[in-house]
Chain A
């Protein structure tokens, strides 16, 4: 088991190295000149060249990548004494547009995105698995139809549309909630909760739709399994049969997909964060796209990749615990 975890971890590190190199290369291949973006429209060529040298954009790409990777572990100082800028480790570069170290930008936005992702995840798993189970157990009855209708609507609604409707209904028309303004959970938990309630539900409803169908179909499929029939023939009470035999088997594949979906969301919920004005990774990314802030884009892309790779590894390891058939001894 330790060997398995170790092997998976090494694989994950290699994968991340490849992803980082690729990301770095792609963004450097863009036609925009990062040095020219460091100062405004009427910039003198001398300043551009000075900045190019200071930020290291004059070096060959491989060297730039090397300096970047080194910076992650040791921190990085741009420029000579006097006018130098220092970004401590782990340094993910320096944003010439915002004049801030990228790491501190990410450190301030990640908790916001994590708050959104975590709450949405809990809600969507609850709604998705709960409704899906109900639909399967009441197959063909009205509960099933309601769940199916929910999932069709959820799948077909775009995030921005549902988000705007929510704001219109709950904030503008009824005034049940204040307009979302993000507050840190440590500053004011109640305000934090109120601000995130709508984005949680928007993301949850849209994601849950898929999980309702997956859960429903998974359960119905497992119910036809011979071992479930043997469970009934043993005289198992219905509740125990559903939990230990049916749900246990039906949820394994769902857990796998849920882990990846969660990691994807951790990379930033671009649309939702923008609509609800939440200063998370997604909003940071979107602003960086608009301003051609390449260091931020490289960093957010890599952060998202780290989450996906880590989630993949965790899910793989978790799978062994959930299903004895793939357990490694």
Chain B
């Protein structure tokens, strides 16, 4: 059953230097209980896409077009009050940096209880405390009865991220958006947090959208992956397909630039040449063509036409290369 359906999403920020086209025509669906990863470099539009789902894009001059259907209701057409009732209750978020995501002036217990109380007015103080205690316990905070009255600065980064997760899950949301939840954490803590998210998801039955630039994280807990580049989805595939047979040169580049256990000891890692394009001044045609090793083989088509997503094998890819070449990408620059 489709929980979330994003259709032709465009997000543009007006700045003094010109319009920044952060997201251009992104469409995707998320089924109830499903885990989807959105992968891309900084500035690829993945966080902007995630924030749009709750209308959390701020700034003087933001334009959001398209449709974001949550259980059939268009988030973009909702009144401010309606969006607010969705935030935290139907859709919850986990932010990147747990060190700054918690309000330093209130105890963690208060902040968890508050998240519940907003959407359940009339809950007694005693019940709220029980709920907060229960949440702390579930996310694995030791000694919750003592820790509940402590302030965020008394916790480590990993513990704080657990509290952020507790806040996000206290209302059992249908959709959890995790925006780089492990980027700011120590490597040893990263795995614990991912495991916790997976475990909580299983318990609450929430769907998860995981935003990351870390392919290891993707492999760990998600089923489906969307690769974004310069505000567009360039590939959408199951995780297994994306890793074994990437169908877009950019995805291939991402995979090649990661070291894995299969990498030979003296093998050099490949990198993607160049830098991501400016979102104010996008290249013509395919936004990836200036950095793409295959663009020359198509006689200028990549500079003229923006490729649409199409079915390639079991995946969907936005590339002009013929299907047989896309399926053999990992083989090298043939």
Contact = CB atoms under 8 A, between A and B. Distances in A.
Interface of A: 140, 225-227, 229-237, 244-245, 248-249, 323-325
B239 interface: no
A226 B95 contact: yes
A233 B87 contact: yes
Nearest to A231: B103
Nearest to B54: A233
Nearest to A324: B151
A234 B100 contact: no
A235 B85 contact: yes
A59 B167 CA distance: 73
B87 A234 contact: yes
Interface in B99-127: 100-106, 114-115, 118-119
A324 B87 contact: no
Contacts of B151: 324-325
A249 B93 CA distance: 22
Contact of A248 (B93, B96, B105, B114): B105
Nearest to A329: B154
Given A230-B164, A233-B87, A234-B115, A245 B103 contact: yes
Contacts of A244: 103, 106
Interface of B: 54, 56, 60, 84-89, 92-93, 95-97, 100-106, 114-115, 118-119, 151, 153, 164, 167
A323 B103 CA distance: 11
A324 B105 contact: yes
Given A140-B60, A230-B103, A323-B104, 12 more contacts: A225-B100, A227-B100, A229-B95, A232-B56, A234-B87, A234-B167, A235-B85, A235-B89, A248-B103, A249-B104, A323-B105, A325-B153
Contacts of A325: 104, 151, 153
A324 B154 CA distance: 10
A1 to B, nearest CB: 15
A235 B119 contact: yes
A234 B88 contact: yes
A249 to B, nearest CB: 6
Nearest to B92: A233
A230 B118 contact: no
Contacts of B56: 229, 232-233
| Complex A-B, nearest 5 residue pairs according to Cβ-Cβ distance, in ascending order | A235-B88, A235-B87, A226-B100, A234-B88, A324-B151
A230 B151 CA distance: 16
Which interface residue of A227, A231, A323 has the most chain B CB atoms within 10 A?
A227
Contacts of B100: 225-227
B203 to A, nearest CB: 20
A31 B115 CA distance: 70
A236 B89 CA distance: 11
Contacts of A233: 54, 56, 87-88, 92-93, 95
A13 B303 CA distance: 77
A227 B153 contact: no
A244 B104 CA distance: 11
Given A140-B60, A235-B119, A227 B86 contact: no
A285 B96 CA distance: 58
Nearest to B116: A234
B93 A227 contact: no
29 contacts: A140-B60, A226-B97, A226-B101, A227-B101, A229-B56, A229-B101, A230-B93, A232-B87, A233-B87, A233-B92, A233-B95, A234-B88, A234-B92, A234-B114, A235-B87, A235-B88, A235-B115, A235-B118, A236-B84, A236-B118, A237-B118, A245-B103, A249-B103, A324-B104, A324-B105, A324-B153, A325-B104, A325-B151, A325-B153
